Homo-oligomer: A and B are copies of this chain.
Amino acid sequence: MNVAVVGAGLIGQAWAIVFARGGCDVRLWDGDQQALDSALTLIGRQVAELENQQLLLDAASVMSRIQTSASLEHALSGAQYVQENLPERVALKQEIFSKLDTLSDPRAVLASSTSSIPASAFTEHLAGRHRCLVAHPVNPPYLIPVVELCGAPWTDESAVEKARSLHASVGQKPVIVHKELEGFVLNRLQGALLREAFRLVQGGCISAEDLDTTVKDGLGLRWAFMGPFETIDLNAPEGVQDYCNRYGDMYQSIAREQTSVDAWDAEIVADIEQQRRSLLPKAELLDRRLWRDARLMELLRLKNA
């Protein structure tokens, strides 16, 4: 399988690693030649680290499958799948998808990594709009495998299916979002939980630190290897229907207190910022991100075992 990765920033680099690790031949292109050169160096470092961490087998062979292209035409030549990673601006997406649609093999599937722009906003007027969709990763996709696939109303099911099949074949976990939704699914779920989290801290019910503990030493443990439906399915003797019969009234009653949609106000955001900084000074944010990635790698090894 030949894959073109368009845009060589952090997300583009990560996609190149994912596809090459999965056995695809990858051509990476960026409008900025300097960015393209340094991307290959950064990819090499990350691939070596993943080999160290036993999250890929053979760094040299992965690197041998990644080449940079001096022109977009070269990158697209022979590609059956294109993953686009330009900045999050509609005009940029429109412009690049117009080029991709013109220059690529008409049978290729064209996917955007956008987290915030629906495919319908940048593919409507394209001859090949039926083969365009969003394939939204979580950063970095070589550590967090879910990818949300979401077409426009005119996207062919076969294009979504080709994308699904490719992502599954390289070890990602594709999910299909059937309607264009703000935030797709992952951020909508995160938003629902965050809103209640802000509400509880703002109401003086719990500290930010204890709220985090409630998730990381409680609620989040099962969610790391089961989703919320499987969790409740296993939490009542007869499954999810039984669970809803037992606890539906409680959750409905709680929901009546969870309806506010006000913006997170400056005061509560500043309060949580202050609580976080007393737990983790700003100067230590970077180290803590490295710690997070190390833990994600351990968790991935555990789940792969």
Copies of this chain present in the complex amount to 2
With A177-B206, A228-B215 in contact, do A269 and B250 touch (Cβ < 8 Å)? Answer: no
The verdict on A187 contacting chain B, using a C-beta distance below 8 Å, is yes
CB pair A264–B250 under 8 Å, yes or no, is no
Do A250 and B183 contact each other (CB < 8 Å), given the known contacts A232-B194, A296-B222?
Answer: yes
The interface-forming segment of A25-33, A97-105, A272-280 is: A272-280
Question: With a CB–CB cut-off of 8 A, which chain B residues contact A192?
Answer: 192-193, 195-196, 258
Identify A223's interface contact among B145, B195, B223, B238, CB under 8 A: B223
Interface 1/0 per residue, A261-286 and B, CB below 8 Å? 11110000110110111001010010
The interface residues of chain B lying within 8 Å CB-to-CB of A213 are 146, 173, 175, 227
Contacts of A200 in B (CB 8 A): 181, 185, 188-189
A126 near B: Cβ within 8 Å?
no
B228 and A211 form a contact (CB under 8 A): yes
Q: Does A197 contact B (CB under 8 A)?
A: yes
Tell me if B190 and A296 are in contact (CB < 8 A): no
Q: A193-B228, A212-B229 are in contact. List 10 more A-B contacts (CB 8 A).
A: A138-B218, A145-B218, A181-B205, A195-B251, A197-B228, A229-B272, A229-B276, A240-B269, A256-B261, A258-B261
Q: Point out residues on A near B: beta carbons under 8 Å.
A: 116, 138, 144-146, 148, 173, 175-179, 181-183, 185-197, 200, 203-208, 210-230, 232-234, 237-241, 244, 248-259, 261-264, 269-270, 272-273, 275-277, 280, 282, 285, 288-289, 292, 295-296, 298-300, 302
